[in-house]
Structure 1
Amino acid sequence: MVSEQKTPEEALQDSKVVAIENSGTISGSLVGAAAEIRRRRRAEAIQLSLRALCMATSVVSLSLMVTAKQASSVSIYGFRLPVHSKWSFSESYEYLVGVSAAVAAHSFLQLLIGSSRFLRMSSLIPSRNHAWLIFAGDQVFAYALMSAGSASSGVTNLNRTGIRHTALPNFCKPLHKFCDHVAISIVFTFISCFLLATSAVQDIIWLSQH
C-alpha cells in the first residue's frame, strides 16, 4: 500500500481547517453557555419579583385588616343604638392577620436571601433539597392564605363577632368603612395566594430541569 504524501502547502491548509473548526466549536459552546446564563438570570429575576410582590400584597392585606375598625350608630325601631366593629372581634380576621404576617415574613426572608445570591451571581437555588424546602413552604403558605381568605369571606353574620350583642341585619350600611377595609384586605390575600402558587410552579419547573 502506498501512503499519500502531502505537500507542505496541503499540510498547512489542513491545519488551518482544523483550527477553524475547533475555534467554531469553542465559540458555539461559549455562545450557548452565555445564552443559558441569560435565561437563568431572567428566571431568577422573575422569581425575585414575585417574592417582592407577594411581600407587598401581604403587608397591604395585613395593614388594611388591622386598621379595620369603626364606631357608628343605627336606628332600630326608632331607637338610636351605638354600634362598634373591629377586626379583632372575629376569629377569622385574626387568622387572616396571622397568616398574612407569616407570609410577609417568609417572602421577605426569601427575597433577602435570593437578592444576596443574585447580586453575587450565584444560583438562587443551590440544590434540589433547597428547592424542595422552598416549594414546601410556598405550598403551605399558599393553602393557608386560601383558607384565611375563604374563612374571612364566609363571615357574613357579624352580630356575634363583628358587632357584639347587637342585632343588626345590614351592618355594612352604618359601618361601610369597616366593610371596605375588610373586603380589600381579603382581595389582597387572594392575590398573595396566587403569587405564592406561581412561585411554587416555578419551583417545580426548576426541579424538573435539574
Structure 2
Amino acid sequence: MSRYTGPRVRVMRALGCDLPGFSRKKIDRRPYPPGQHGQARHKLSEYKLRLIEKQKLRFGYGVSEVQLRRLMVEAGRSQGAPGDKLVELLERRLDNVVFRAGFARTIPAARQLVCHGFVHVNGRRVDIASFRVDQGHTISLVPRVWKNPHVLSSVADETMERASWLNVDKAAFSATVTALPDASSALFPVDVQRVVEFYSLRL
C-alpha cells in the first residue's frame, strides 16, 4: 500500500501542528501554511476544519485513507463515543506501540522494524504493522537489533514521550501494555468530533 514520501514539514505546516510520529522536525520556525500566500489570513470553511482534523490522524499515525475509513466504521459500531474509540484503535496499532515505547524515532521507522520481523508480541514474531495489541501483551525487539544505532539512540532519547499505558523495560527492549489507551493518548491536539462529522456524511 502506498505511503506518503513527500516533504513532511510541509504537511505539518499545512495542518498547523507538530506530528511527532510523522517527523521529528518541528514547525516552530515557520508556523504558518506553506506557499506564497501562507501568511495571508483565510477564513476556513467548516469542511476545511473537519478535513484538517481528519488529516492529522491520517498522517500522525501513518495510515492510508482506506485504513482510516475502515477504523472509523469499526469505531462507529462499538460502544461509547466513536471519536474516542477511533483514537484508541489507532494507538493500539503495533507500529504505533513500538514508536510510543521509544524503540523508534517515528512511526515509519517503527513500521520498518515490524515489517522486517524484528518485533515479537508475547514471544511470537509479528510482521504486520496494523496488528492490534491488547492489554497484557508484551512487545519486544529481537536481540540482533539491540545494538542498532538507530534503536539505541531512540531508547536513550529522554525527550521522547513514552505512553503512560505502557510499562517499558529499556534494558530488555520490551514493553507491556498495562491498560488500553484513550482519546487523550494522542501526542498531538485533535478534535475527534470534527473527524466523526467528516465521516458521518461519507459512510
TM-score bracket relative to the smaller structure: under 0.3
Q: Please give the TM-score of this superposition, normalised by the length of structure 2.
A: 0.25
Indicate the structure (1 or 2) with the bigger Cα radius of gyration.
1
Which structure has more RCO (C-alpha within 8 Å, separation ≥ 6)?
A: 1
Q: Please give the TM-score of this superposition, normalised by the length of structure 1.
A: 0.25
Q: More helix by proportion, 1 or 2?
A: 1
